[in-house]
Structure formats: C-alpha cells, structure tokens
Amino acid sequence: MGRYASEPLTIKNTYIRVWCLEELCYYICENADLLEDNFASDELIDWVADECGLKDLAIKLKTVRRQSVKLESFVAEILNAADYVDDEELKRISRVIRANRSMPETGRLMVLADYFLRGGNFMPALNTYTRLLGMTEDGPDEHQLVRIYVNLGVIYARLFCFEESAGYYMKAYELEPSEDILFPLLAAKRMQLGDMEYLEFISNFEKDTTVSAHLEEVMEQALRQYSDSDRGKMTDSLRKLRMGSDRNEYAAEAFGFLLDEKERYRKYMSE
C-alpha cells in the first residue's frame, strides 16, 4: 500500500527499521510481545502519512489513538488497512499485547533482552540485562537471575571476553548447580586460562570429571573441523610460510589474511 519510504521508520525499543506499511505489519505480527504504548507515536503516524503517502490511514490512526487508550486498537487499524491478517491472527495479536501490558517491567525487559540476544545484537542485549540487574525494586527473582547470568555469559563469550563470561557463568552455577551451566563455565575457563592454570582450576573445582572430559572431546572435534575448513587450511599454509625462508611472501600473505579477519570481525560486531 502507498509507497516505499525514502526514510525508514525506526522502532524505538528494538532499533528495527521498516520501509513500507507491509514491513510494519510484519514487524507487528512477529514481535507483538515487544510492543509498548509508545509504539502508537506521532512519529509513526507522520511516517505513514509523509513517507508512505497514506494520509487517510494516518488520519484514522490519530482518531483511534484519541478515542482509545488500548494499543491493540491502534495496531488493528494498521493491520486491517493492509488486509494483512485474518480475524484469528488479529485476536492472537491482541491477546499478546494485553498480556504484555499486564506483565511487570521485569518480565517485559527479559523479553526484550532475550529478543536482542536471539538476533545476535549483543550490546543492546547486554545493556538490557545489566539494567535488569540494577533494578532495586521488583527486580529479577532467582530463576530470572540465573537466566540473566547465563545469557551474560553467552554474550561475553561471543565477544571473546572469556574472563567476564566465566564470572557470570560462575554466578549462575552458584545459584543453580547443574551440568547445563557447568559445561559453558568450564569452556569459558578453558579459553581464559593457560593449560596448567586450567588443570589446577578443575582439580580444585570439579569433583566428577565427566563434564570436563566431554568438553575436551568437543574442543578436539572443533579443532579438527577448523583444521579441515578453508580458514584452517589458510592458517596452516601461513604457518608453513612463516617457517620458510621467504619472509616477504609470508608478510604479504599474513597481512592480507589479517585484513580479511578484521573485516569479518567488524561485520560480526556491527550485526
């Protein structure tokens, strides 16, 4: 409907950009549990009118917002205008929005943080989990704390900050000792420490060596897979060049390889 926008609408709490009414409808259907009252904003209405060229719909949205305090009525107007969903799907979305409205702030923030983490948006996820840990009133319960600590462990591991990762996994393990948490805790420690330091750690920490033994199997399999990959073969080739006599060839190959790796890392972090 209307036209593609020359400037996208950025959804405030998730930073997702949409370029047309149908993309906005898709966002609503896929993320109904993330919608908050500020979704029905002047910015959205003006974008529908000016960027999508749907001035009649914008007038209807203003009228709906003025007549009803319920976000589901505002959302229904958008979805119905595009004939995007059937009645059953519209009822489902309305139920999700109502359930989200009755949820305490802690629950809403957990949903948002988990959404960022699933999408690989690590810094917004980290900031939202940290915000949850800073709540002094009506903060996370013990079960939620375990989830937060585990997910912070995941985030820091993905950012290659293994000491911080191990610290959060340890916090989770102290609250809920289980193999599901022990495995990533040991993995973070394995990446953080040298061989002798790691052996000393597990000898003082792990009574049963089943989990650490399984970790070593996983590590060995990962190393084999890397060795068989194109990047693994490239690093092996560079290693052989380094041991050879042509230092100029090695320097040129290593420089190009590192440039590619830096670009891959920058892209990974930006996503």
Q: Are residues 63 and 168 located together in one domain of the fold?
A: no
What does the chain come to in residues? 271
Question: Per-residue pLDDT for 246 more than 80?
Answer: no
In this prediction, residue 2 has a pLDDT band, given cuts at 50, 70 and 90, of very high
Please report, rounded to a whole number, the percentage of residues in the chain having pLDDT higher than 70.
99
- In a domain, residue 3? The reply is no
Q: Which pair of structure tokens corresponds to residue 62?
A: 């203003």
Q: Are residues 222 and 111 located together in one domain of the fold?
A: yes
- Please identify, among 194, 212, 228, the residue that sits at the C-terminal boundary of a domain: 228
Q: What is the pLDDT of residue 270?
A: 63
Q: Are residues 188 and 152 located together in one domain of the fold?
A: yes
- Mean predicted confidence (pLDDT) in 47-66: 95
Q: Are residues 224 and 110 located together in one domain of the fold?
A: yes
pLDDT in tens, 214-236: 999 999 999 999 889 988 888 88
**Residue 212 C-alpha from the chain's centroid:** 28
- In a domain, residue 212? The reply is yes
Q: Are residues 27 and 60 located together in one domain of the fold?
A: yes
Task: Supply the mean pLDDT for the chain.
Answer: 91
Contact in structure between 54 and 48 (CB atoms under 8 Å): yes
Q: Are residues 98 and 153 located together in one domain of the fold?
A: no
Q: Are residues 120 and 222 located together in one domain of the fold?
A: yes
Q: Are residues 110 and 177 located together in one domain of the fold?
A: yes
Q: What is the pLDDT of residue 208?
A: 78
- In a domain, residue 126? The reply is yes
- Mean predicted confidence (pLDDT) in 163-192: 95
In eight-state DSSP terms, residue 138 is S
- Mean predicted confidence (pLDDT) in 128-145: 90
Q: Are residues 95 and 192 located together in one domain of the fold?
A: no
- Please identify, among 54, 70, 102, the residue that sits at the C-terminal boundary of a domain: 102
- In a domain, residue 137? The reply is yes
Which residues span the domain enclosing 217?
A: 105-228
- In a domain, residue 59? The reply is yes
- Which whole-number Å values give the CA distances from 86 to 76, 98, 167, 270, 271, in the listed order? 11, 19, 48, 37, 33
pLDDT in tens, 73-95: 999 999 999 999 999 999 999 99
- In a domain, residue 1? The reply is no
Question: Per-residue pLDDT for 60 more than 70?
Answer: yes
- Identify the CA nearest to 71 among candidates 48, 46, 94, 103: 94
Q: Are residues 121 and 216 located together in one domain of the fold?
A: yes
Question: Per-residue pLDDT for 268 more than 70?
Answer: no
Return the higher-pLDDT residue of 167 and 203.
167
Q: What is the pLDDT of residue 262?
A: 86
Q: Which pair of structure tokens corresponds to residue 82?
A: 């595009």
Q: Are residues 158 and 128 located together in one domain of the fold?
A: yes
Question: Per-residue pLDDT for 269 more than 70?
Answer: no
Q: Are residues 94 and 122 located together in one domain of the fold?
A: no
Question: Per-residue pLDDT for 56 more than 80?
Answer: yes
- In a domain, residue 2? The reply is no
Question: Per-residue pLDDT for 192 more than 60?
Answer: yes
Global pTM reads: 0.77
Please report, rounded to a whole number, the percentage of residues in the chain having pLDDT higher than 90.
66
How many distinct structural domains can be found in the chain? 3
- In a domain, residue 4? The reply is no
- Mean predicted confidence (pLDDT) in 58-69: 89
pLDDT in tens, 18-45: 999 999 999 999 999 899 888 999 999 9
For residue 7, the one-letter residue type is E
- CATH value at residue 159: 1.25.40.10
Sequence-separated (6 or more) residues with CB below 8 Å from residue 227: 233, 236
- Please identify, among 44, 74, 102, the residue that sits at the C-terminal boundary of a domain: 102
Distance between CA atoms of residues 256 and 266, nearest Å: 16
